[in-house]
Amino acid sequence: MIRHTLTPAFLFAAATVAAPASLAAQTAAQAPPAAPATAPATQPPMDESKRVPAADMIGKEGEGFSIAQGWIQEGRIRGHGARPVGIASRALDMMIEYSKVRTTFGRPLADRQAIQFMIADSAMELHACRLMVYECAWRHDRDEDVRQLSYMTKIQCAEMASRVVDRSIQVHGGLGLMRELPLEWWYRQVRSIRITEGTPEVLRWRLAQHIIKNHKG
């Protein structure tokens, strides 16, 4: 059985925060900081004076991009496939456990059809993505070309985890947004996973190009 408590620090802060004097003051208080006039540099300055001995070269000259692609491909299976599956699995467990102990109007949330649908959808999507990760990893271990399958795995697993964590937060209500639970942190993590090592838009574009090019009607 899960027990959730509010920390004294949270209760003290909630009781002592004063309301803004006016709507204008409230808007000003909530406004984000002004963006800098010049965007910060995202890359360090290049230093072309350094030289790497030929004996320390990884692979052959001109093959660096293909080697990096291989590393990224593995990352899509592990960090962007298996990791979201693990996050979604735990988020689903928390959703089910909390729905059993949280009661509204004399009945547990687990009795509500809307909650049951969230659990069922999450379980089906999680199962499908777990099998996709298994197949992609298995084919990779057999030295097969899994670039296109890794695209599918990364897209499906990252987007699935976002939906499952979102549903878990919904079932937990306001409690799901508090830092006492890992859900809000997972929500931010899976959102970043959808962007890194290939956005879903780019991967869908490349996947579609491959499918159309190799289609045999």
**pLDDT value, residue 34:** 54
**pLDDT value, residue 26:** 46
**pLDDT value, residue 41:** 60
Whether 145 has a pLDDT exceeding 70, the answer reads yes
Higher pLDDT, 197 or 177: 177
Burial class (CB in 10 A: 0-12, 13-18, 19+), 35: exposed
Phi, psi (rounded to 5 degrees) for 148? -70, -40
Phi, psi (rounded to 5 degrees) for 104? -135, 130
d(CA 151, CA 78): 12
**pLDDT value, residue 188:** 96
Tens digits of per-residue pLDDT, 87-123?
Answer: 999 999 999 999 999 999 999 999 999 999 999 999 9
* Active-site residue (options: 74, 135, 159, 197): 197
The answer to whether the predicted template modeling score (pTM) of the entire model surpasses 0.95 is no
61 given a catalytic annotation:
no
Domains contained in the chain, CATH given? 69-217 (1.20.140.10)
Tens digits of per-residue pLDDT, 171-196?
Answer: 999 999 999 999 999 999 999 999 98
- 21-35, 160-174, 193-207: which range is least confident on average? 21-35
**pLDDT value, residue 10:** 35
d(CA 13, CA 73): 46
Confidence of residue 59 (pLDDT cuts 50, 70, 90): confident
Confidence of residue 48 (pLDDT cuts 50, 70, 90): confident
